[in-house]
Amino acid sequence: MFIRVDSVRPLEGYSLRLGFSDGTIRDIDLSGELYGEVFEPLKYPQFFRSVAVNPETGTIEWPNGADFAPEFLHEHGTPVHQVA
Within-domain flag for 65: yes
Question: pLDDT by residue (tens digit) across 37-69?
Answer: 999 999 999 999 999 999 999 999 999 999 999
State phi, psi for 25 to the nearest 5 degrees. -125, 130
State phi, psi for 37 to the nearest 5 degrees. -55, -45
Virtual torsion, Cα 64, 65, 70, 75, nearest 10 deg: -50
Within-domain flag for 84: no
Q: Domain containing 17: what range? A: 5-79
Work out the pLDDT band at 1, boundaries 50, 70, 90.
Answer: low
Q: Is the pLDDT of residue 83 over 70?
A: no
Within-domain flag for 33: yes
Within-domain flag for 61: yes
